[in-house]
Amino acid sequence: MVFKEYDYDNKPIVEIVNEMMADAVKNRASDIHFDPTPDKLKVRFRIDGDLVDYAYVPNAFKKNMTTRIKIISGMNITESRLPQDGAIKTELEGKPLDMRVSALPIVDGEKVVIRILDYSTSLQGIDNIGFSDVNLEKVKRMLEVPNGIILTTGATGSGKSTTTYAMLQRLNTPELNVITVEDPVEMKIEGLNQVQVMAEIGLTFAAALRSILRQDPDVIMIGEIRDNETARIAVRSAITGHLVVSTIHTNNTLNTIERLTDMDIERYLLGTALVGMISQRLAKKLCPKCRGSRPATEYEKLVIKKAINLDIDNLYMPVGCDDCIGGYRGRVPIHEVCELDQEIKDAITNSTPKEKLRSLVYGNNKTISLLQDGLKKVVNGLTSFEEILRVIDIETDFGEGDEELRMALLGKIKADKDTEEAEEVEEPTNVENEAAVQVEIAQPKTNTAKAASTKSEPINPQYEIPTEDKLSFNQEGIDFGEEMSYDDFDDDYDY
């Protein structure tokens, strides 16, 4: 993206604002920020999760610009001391454009943020939102179940709403009565009965749900399970013959089970009701136009071998071109799909300790962990090793029985520090550590940064990295989406 210098003296502010919005959409931005500073108004775009400077508006035009945005978003322009919300509905090149606008008075003026809502991803259907083959099959099986709860979990901005909408789209058939309760209703979908929560008049998630149950529903979508009462109604709806689809703000499968059991729901009901859980993260996608390759470090080889049992020599790396930002363009979802079998259900009911539950969930490759799904996408060149380490929580995202892998991952800290002198590893503090360190230094180090070559395809003896036309792993003809934005449905509006 190019930093833009506008001719503020000669170009009408109306045109500048329009051009800014058009540029934001063109650059796949999810948000436009207007930040007042003492000497200017800084305009930034959020692209693939990161803010990038776009333009600086001189102080003399600051007020005009803010006022213009407030006018088109239906705000009160005479009020600048209180926060306000607004919306812009417009068209860009024939495509409808929905924007949500927020103004917040800060000490240097009013900060305005425009969120651009993009529904294109969710409407591509469950087959096209980046699930691996194995995971997609599991999700489809879950959606066949007539009653129970399917949860999508992830932090703010993990794309969990996108996945939820894609699932709803599959359930949206004339034979089923689908009712949603959302806060806010992001996108109106034909065929669904959507209820907007209005807590200020007492229409909370829980209140809406109680009424929905009298509306003969087959499928109920709950925007988010936030409190005990909502969780209890969700579970009760599920065991009385409804399919409940919802989201919850947790990290992974085990976390979700813990969180739900903390929520004061009877464990035996929970065990019965839960059908499956989809945990999700978003990693930045390597730009297919410029990505290069480099030899993998011993540490990376070790982690990939331990996690997904592949021997690799090279890895893709970000390079950077006019089409991307720092070698990345768009995002790739990383999933963990846990389908609950009777064993896991019983374990939940019987309050089985976490470590036992962990081996039931991940043992025998029953559930592909976030780390494993992520590393497969690394090997396939969709994202980079660094990105996966950034989005995965090493402490919680993999389990017991993976002790070697855990040590390999934690050894990372050492590998980074001692890239130059790998021999000089600190004295290991315990036996397990020692083992890991020995694995780490058993093989000669390759200096990756220097050996990096651009634009060549890695050649791995045992696993061929697909070239671009067969990019996606385990899937055919799936494009992870140049135009896709996982920033839609604004998980960020959770507050």
Cβ-based nearer residue to Zn ion, 117 or 324 = 324
Task: Report CA 29 to chain centroid distance, whole Å.
Answer: 15
What minimum distance in Å lies between the beta carbon of 291 and Zn ion? Answer: 7
The answer to whether 266 and 171 are in contact (CB under 8 A) is no
261 phi/psi in degrees, rounded to 5:
-70, -25
Cα 443 versus chain centre, distance: 36
Q: Which is nearer to Zn ion, 316 or 385 (CB)?
A: 316
Range 425-484, binding Zn ion (CB under 5 A): none
Sign of CA dihedral 441, 444, 449, 453: negative
CA dihedral sign of residues 115, 382, 122, 176: negative
Q: Which is nearer to Zn ion, 330 or 374 (CB)?
A: 330
Question: At its nearest, how many Å lie between Zn ion and the CB of residue 22?
Answer: 22
Q: How near is the Cβ of 326 to Zn ion at its closest, in Å?
A: 9
* Whether the Cβ atoms of residue 212 and residue 218 lie closer than 8 Å to each other: no
Choose between 416 and 482: whose C-beta lies nearer to Zn ion.
482
Interface size with Zn ion, residues (CB under 5 A): 6
Closest CB to Zn ion among residues 40, 289: 289
Q: How far is the CB of 455 from Zn ion (least distance, A)?
A: 11
> Between 386 and 404, whose beta carbon lies closer to Zn ion?
386
Beta carbon of residue 325, minimum distance to Zn ion (angstroms, whole number): 8
Distance CA 240, CA 214 (A): 12
Q: Which one, of 408, 381, 406, 380, lies nearest residue 297 by Cα?
A: 408
CB of 290 to Zn ion, least distance (A): 3
Determine the distance from the C-alpha atom of residue 232 to the mean position of all C-alpha atoms in its chain, rounded to a whole number: 26
Least distance to Zn ion from the beta carbon of 324, Å?
3
Nearest distance, CB of residue 364 and Zn ion, angstroms: 40
Q: Which CB sits closer to Zn ion, 386 or 432? A: 386
Determine the distance from the C-alpha atom of residue 43 to the mean position of all C-alpha atoms in its chain, rounded to a whole number. 25
Q: How far is the CB of 102 from Zn ion (least distance, A)?
A: 32
In the window 271-330, what residues touch Zn ion (CB under 5 A)?
287, 289-290, 321, 323-324
Q: Which two tokens stand for residue 490?
A: 């604004």
Residue placing its CB nearer to Zn ion in the complex, 367 or 380: 380
Judged by beta carbon, residue 443 or residue 456, the one nearer Zn ion is 456
Count CA atoms within 13 Å of residue 448 on its CB side.
19
DSSP string, 103-127: EEEETTEEEEEEEEE--TTGGG-GG
End-to-end CA distance of the chain: 30
Reported as type and span, the H/E element at residue 342 is helix 342-349
CA trace torsion 373, 379, 380, 383 (10° rounding):
70
Residue 451 and residue 334: Cα distance in Å, rounded?
29
Rounded to a whole number of angstroms, the minimum distance from the CB of residue 482 to Zn ion is: 11
Residue 236-275 contact track with Zn ion, rule CB under 5 A, x = bound: ----------------------------------------
What sections of 8-120 are H helices per DSSP? Answer: 13-26, 59-72
Q: Name the residue number minimizing CB distance to Zn ion.
A: 287
Q: Which is nearer to Zn ion, 186 or 387 (CB)?
A: 387
- At 272, list the tokens: 């019965």
Binding string to Zn ion for residues 139 to 168, with x set by CB under 5 A, is what? ------------------------------
Binding site for Zn ion (CB under 5 A): 287, 289-290, 321, 323-324
